[in-house]
Amino acid sequence: MAHGPPAGPRTRLGELVRSFPAAGLVLSRYGFSGELQEEDTTLEEFARQRGVPAGRLLGELGRVAEVSLGEPPPESFLALAGVHEWVDELFLSHQEALLEQNIPLAAELLERVYEGQRRHIGVEEEILLPVYARAGRIPGGDPELYTNEHRKMLQILEHFRQALPRLEEKAPGERRRDLIDLFDRGYWYKRLHEHHDNRERNILYPTLDRVTGEEERRELIARCAP
């Protein structure tokens, strides 16, 4: 069943994003940052501030609602989001090892994060995004957004991979500032990964469910298995 726009001109942004997380992906294209002071702004006010017709913004939100609010089929690409949770847990374990200054264990766990992330990205870019392109342009879901986020996440992880061997060469008392830097970068990695997960759960995977039939969907999901 088709879904209409999940909001009206007077809907407040905070209320909208809490009830419909994919809305943040559309609004971010126009400079929405999710800061507290933006929460009470209405869609109409936001559109006027950004010089965007309110009707256009509502239309984009409606299109994304059609994609993300439908019932998933019994076998859905949403099952692939489990990889994100696995990577999140591994990265937290890596950070716990860093807190204890167990650098060899932190490096081992980081390598598992990097390889898991790299494999998952390869699957998306080589198998899924070409199929996703059948849907045409989706606000907040252009293929370049996914590939750019992939590149940024791998760049951050590569920085960690290069930093840990240098960290191990230092005495525990000399590592403090390096550890602070790694935790600062880790914060941005986790924020980026969370934003990416939101985009995939609300746009990529539901769209793939829409543009594939049951047999093709089953075959593609099997090809994506680790």
Place of tokens 């992330």: 117
Average pLDDT, the chain: 86
Q: CA 101, 107, 109 angle in degrees (round to 5)?
A: 105
Q: What is the dihedral of CA 139, 143, 148, 150, to 10 degrees?
A: 120
- The model carries a pTM of 0.72
CATH code linked to domain 77-224: 1.20.120.520
Q: Is the pLDDT of residue 4 over 60?
A: no
Is 170 a residue whose pLDDT tops 50?
yes
Place of tokens 């609004």: 27
- What's the pLDDT tens digit per position in 88-145? 999 999 999 998 899 999 999 999 999 999 999 999 999 999 999 999 888 888 999 9
Q: Where are the domains of the chain?
A: 13-68, 77-224
pLDDT higher for 37 or 129? 129
Instruction: Report how far apart, in Å, the C-alpha atoms of 76 and of each of 71, 80, 217, 220, 223 are.
Output: 10, 8, 8, 10, 14
Q: What are 174's two structure tokens?
A: 């000399």
pLDDT tens-digit readout, 10-34: 888 888 887 777 777 778 878 887 7
Cα Rg of the chain, angstroms:
20
Give the pLDDT mean for 207-223.
92
* 1, pLDDT greater than 50: no
**C-alpha atoms less than 13 angstroms from C-alpha of 61 in its C-beta half-sphere:** 26
Q: Tokens at residue 169, please?
A: 């060469």
pLDDT in tens, 45-73: 888 888 888 888 888 887 777 666 665 56
Q: Could you write out the DSSP letters of every residue in the chain?
A: -----S--TT-BHHHHHHH-THHHHHHGGGT----GGGTT-BHHHHHHHHT--HHHHHHHHHHHHHHHSSPPPSS-GGGGGHHHHHHHHHHHHHHHHHHTT-HHHHHHHHHHHHHHHHHHHHHIIIIIHHHHGGG---TT--HHHHHHHHHHHHHHHHHHHHHHHHHHTS-GGG-HHHHHHHHHHHHHHHHHHHHHHHHIIIIIHHHHHHHS-HHHHHHHHHHH--
